[in-house]
A and B are shown apart, each in its own frame.
Chain A
Amino acid sequence: MTTDGKATAAAMNRSSAEEAAKSGIWVGIAAITMTFAAFTSAIIVREGTDTSWHHMTLPGVLYLNTLVLIASSITLELSRRPVAARISRREAAGQEGSRSGLLWLLVTLGLGLMFLAGQYAAWRELASQGLFLATNPSSSFFYVLTAVHGVHLLGGLAALGYLAGKLSMAGARLRRSTAEATSIYWHFMGGLWIYLLLVMRTRL
């Protein structure tokens, strides 16, 4: 760790608050990673002790959902520059920035909601096949993993909503770090989902 660099930065509260939001999000990501590592090892142990492990076919809509989530990461990247420009201009002169940042952000938000709706459709599909939370170990893990991921994604949606709200208000103060932390988290949610899909595809 660069101690001196960090210490000097800390002298100016402004920049250190910026730093804190970013290290905060990385620390949070570490914890979430650990949680899903625990779930993964639970699947492996659980499968290893089971003599009659039922494999299941994942609902096809999940692959569509995956594309939607990947697309949302791209649109979030598209919003990044205009939003950043908007933030720095605010800070300098206080003039209105372009609307395109806000637009892309709203598209991202919409895609995120679409993903969640898609996940719900997947649940409905399983239910119609008679696969519920308690039916067999595979279905249990499927519901648990998708639900816990969904809850974390909701957190990301809330952050996106907050950003969009701030951007649409004329005089609102918005920190660059908030925007960056949100986008790091959102991309992480996408990566996490792809990982989960692989795990579920190969194990459940």
Chain B
Amino acid sequence: MQEASAPQAQQGHHGPPEGFIRKYVFSLDHKVIGKQYYGLALVAVFIGMTLSWLMRYHLIYPNGKIFGLELLSKVGAPGGVMTPEYYLSLMTMHGTLMVFFVLTNAPFAAFGNYFLPIQIGAEDMAFPRFNMMSFWVTLVAFLVLVTAFFIPDGPPISGWTAYAPLSAVGTDAGPGLGWGQNLWGLSIAIFCVGSLLGSLNFIATTLDLRAKGMTLMRMPLCTWAWFITACISLLAFAVLLPACLLLVLDRMAGTSFFIPAGLVVSDRLQAHAGGSPLLWQHLFWFFGHPEVYIAILPAMGIVSHILINSIRRPLLSAKVIIYSMMSIGFLSYMVWGHHMFVSGMNPFSSLMFSFPTLTITIPATVMTLIWLGSLYGARIRFTSASLFALGFISMFVSGGVSGFFLAQPSIDIYLHATYFVVGHFHMVMGVAAIFGVFAGTYFWFPKMTGRMMSEGLGKVHFWFTFIGTYCIFMPFHYLGLAGNVRRYSSFVDDFLLPLMPVHRFITIAALITGAAQFIFLYNLIHSRFRGKVAPVNPWEATSLEWTIPSPPPWNNFGDRHPVVYHDPHQYGVKGSLGDYVMQDSPEKIENES
């Protein structure tokens, strides 16, 4: 199937790895780096989930003791009972871990690293050394962040958005805003560096290392998604980095970029003069909105990739999916102000941000319609992967619809500080992206480890997670409409008490859904060692990763030089293998576009 090698022998970027350290620790191999990112995200997600359990428990038992919590923080949980401030500390860590170390790392850095080079027929990333650095830098960022748990003052209480001026003035503003907030700022700044290195690699690799015949339009949809995400991420983290730098300077060097004149906090006049708290919000959300697409685009790509494979026919239009992703990437830079409708910015600016926000729903809707339209009348193969892909669409739609409401300043002013927003972003970003990661895991695990995961356990995991997340996050919308404020550690006001039964229901659902994730963890670990041995192409898929052994050798294609003849959407055609033709198969296909 492969053409004889090109005249010049392919020179590797690096030779086969030797020794334990080069193989598994400081590896230059994009596949090992991808797995390292995945492992880091897995650790982060379980910490994040445990934090969410603690918060949910506290919300329904504000005076309840939590066994062992005192060991973590004497000040934050005297006698095992969480203080309101410590609730906010845990909330900050939950949000930061989830957004940065899970939703940015898993769908983009982990799977992208592992599969982007293989799917374009390359031997490795363009700059393997930068690639290795990007992971280790990210790991340092993670360690710096979790150190905040162990300092006396605890983690910051300012949330994942760290709004100035309170995040900038120091301990006067509350616990955790001393060294805790310093660590947060440094961690995120370091994280930015890692992400920038990673994105640079993704872009250069996609542009320059594609195999012969792999035109841009023949790249699988997930490769496209990773590529576009890398472009977004490059420009977004390049803005968050200076923002964090200025924040850290305000805190540690006495500058006043974000601290206004005459600010009194805890009865003390702050010694700074003349900064702008809105500036932080602008810089943060200029990064923050693109960041939500950094989390979701890879999932969209992964889901499209898997969906085509399980319905065994092309999507209505792969091209339109690509163009939609591009326009989402482009528009995502013009909408950041919709997070600031209540910030006191000029109402006219609110209007100017409302229009592009409503416009960005168009490409998102177009993609959804393409997925649904392609499903119409399809005979779908129900695997764990395809179930999670379908679940993704469901979550994305259910969570995305509330975005239409929030996009209008007049409605958002009412809903902004409520659980409605929490429901919106957990469904559309949190859960949807995680569903993309689950789909990707069930789909690619055989390739990554050489073993199959248990389909039975996978389906049980899916149903628990799918129903569970709806039980948790749908009621959030209702709570928000009823006026339930967010970022409160307990609901003791008269107007909130009648909502407590809903909160109890949510907490129970959260505990059960969380517990169901251990089914996944068990499946992951058990299958890694005991799973059925995986064939080269278990899902009868078309893209290049399915042409090489499971798991692939260090240089992916061995001495071969893959040559590509088709796009990856050749399902439902007559080929020598059955109903599909692989990308590197020289077979002629009638009516190929």
Which of A's residues lie within 8 Å of B, judged by CB? 1, 3-4, 6-14, 16-17, 19-20, 23-24, 27-28, 30-32, 34-35, 37-39, 41-42, 45-46, 48-53, 133-134, 136-137, 140, 144, 148
Contacts and interface: CB of A to CB of B under 8 A. Distances in A.
A52 B256 CA distance: 13
A4 B238 contact: no
B188 to A, nearest CB: 15
Contact of A35 (B8, B238, B255): B238
A12 B212 CA distance: 9
A137 B123 contact: no
Contact of A7 (B8, B210, B245, B278): B210
B208 A10 contact: yes
Given A7-B210, A17-B126, A19-B207, 13 more contacts: A7-B212, A7-B215, A10-B122, A11-B212, A12-B7, A13-B10, A14-B8, A17-B13, A20-B127, A42-B242, A50-B274, A133-B249, A140-B257
Interface residue SS majority, chain A: helix
B238 A31 contact: yes
Interface in B94-110: none
A7 B208 contact: no
B203 A16 contact: no
Interface stretch (B279-287, B368-376, B460-468): B279-287
Contacts of B196: 31
A38 B283 contact: yes
A96 B279 CA distance: 56
B203 A4 contact: no
Nearest to B130: A24
B257 A11 contact: no
Contacts of B286: 38
A37 to B, nearest CB: 8
Interface in B108-135: 122-123, 126-127
A114 to B, nearest CB: 27
Contacts of B279: 42, 45-46, 49
Contacts of A50: 274, 276
Most chain B CB atoms below 10 A, which of A13, A14, A133: A13
A134 B127 contact: no
Contacts of A49: 260, 274-276, 278-279
Nearest to A133: B253
29 contacts: A6-B210, A7-B215, A11-B211, A12-B6, A13-B123, A20-B126, A20-B207, A20-B208, A23-B203, A27-B199, A27-B204, A27-B234, A31-B235, A31-B237, A34-B239, A35-B242, A38-B239, A38-B283, A41-B282, A42-B242, A46-B275, A49-B274, A49-B278, A137-B255, A137-B257, A140-B249, A140-B256, A144-B245, A148-B242
Considering the complex of A and B, which 3 residue pairs feature the smallest CB-CB distances, nearest first? A134-B254, A11-B212, A34-B238
B255 A134 contact: yes
Interface string B199-225: 110011101111111111100000000
Nearest to B200: A27
A21 to B, nearest CB: 8
Most chain A CB atoms below 10 A, which of B196, B204, B283: B204
Contacts of B208: 6, 9-10, 16-17, 19-20, 23
Contacts of B266: none
A51 B276 CA distance: 11
Contacts of A32: 238
A31 B199 CA distance: 10
A48 B345 CA distance: 13
Nearest to B256: A137
B418 to A, nearest CB: 28
B216 A1 contact: yes
B479 interface: no
Contact of B235 (A4, A30, A51): A30
A38 B210 CA distance: 33
Nearest to A18: B208
B241 interface: yes
A38 B211 contact: no
B127 A38 contact: no
A154 to B, nearest CB: 15
A41 B276 CA distance: 12
Contacts of B256: 134, 137, 140
B435 to A, nearest CB: 30
Contacts of A13: 8, 10-11, 123
Contact of A3 (B122, B217, B253): B217
Nearest to B287: A38
B204 A23 contact: yes
Contacts of A16: 208-209
Interface in B492-550: none
Most chain A CB atoms below 10 A, which of B7, B122, B257, B286: B257
A32 B204 CA distance: 16
A124 B72 CA distance: 46
Contacts of A4: 215
Contacts of B315: none
Contacts of B13: 17
Nearest to A51: B274
A8 B200 contact: no
B209 A10 contact: yes
Contacts of A136: 273
Contacts of B11: 13-14, 17
A3 B234 contact: no
Nearest to B233: A31
Nearest to B202: A27
B149 to A, nearest CB: 30
Contacts of A34: 234-235, 238-239
Contacts of B385: none
B246 interface: yes
Contacts of B238: 31-32, 34-35, 38
Contacts of A28: 200
Contacts of A48: 276
